[in-house]
Amino acid sequence: MNHLSPADLTPLLTKDQRLLGLDVGETTIGLALSDVGRMIATPYKTISRGKFSKDAETLITLVKEYNIGAFVIGYPINMDGSEGPRCQSIRQFTRNLEEKVRIPMLLFDERMSTMAVTRTMMDADLSRARRAELVDKMAASYILQGVLDIMGRNSS
């Protein structure tokens, strides 16, 4: 598995390629898309996880449909900086995905992403049901925006 940083992505992408952010959970995958200029992350959708091959097919379809140049995958490091079983699960998911899709994949620290978007949605007075519906794709967008912000600072 390749250990990329956000700065490493830019030279690997063509001018018109987007990034796809993934917040991979046990039952769902939240998705977010960057714009073509790679400035803004937008929550896209949440897919229910099934068999890996079906999930991979869905992601491959999106790569083709939206000209995705790389995946930004949330990496669930513990608050103390250690890696737990969820990190191992994400690394395995990424390795499996690399066998199906030949594009760069960046694992990006997702600490606080779900907490931050949940707090924002609570502040917006969204119902518990609405928050549950939105949290995964909003977390994917938060993770992706973090990478886009770093890429933007590095290109200045």
Query: What CATH number is attached to the domain comprising 30?
Result: 3.30.420.140
Any domain includes 1 = no
On whether the pTM is more than 0.85, the answer is yes
Residue 3, in any domain of the structure: no
Rounded to whole angstroms, the Cα distance separating 89 from 105 reads 15
- Measured CA to CA, the distance from residue 141 to residue 112 in angstroms comes to 13
Residue 121 lies in a domain: yes
- Is residue 6 situated within a structural domain? no
pLDDT at 106: 94
Residue 7 falls inside a structural domain:
no
Query: What total number of domains does the chain contain?
Result: 1
> 18 lies in a domain?
yes
Answer yes or no: is 101 within a domain: yes
- List, for residues 46-97, the tens digit of each pLDDT value: 999 999 999 999 999 999 999 999 999 999 888 888 888 889 999 999 999 9
Residue 58: φ, ψ to 5°: -60, -45
Structural domain range at position 86: 14-155
Q: Is 127 part of any domain?
A: yes
34: which 2 tokens? Answer: 């960057």
Instruction: Calculate what percentage of the chain has a pLDDT beyond 70.
Output: 83
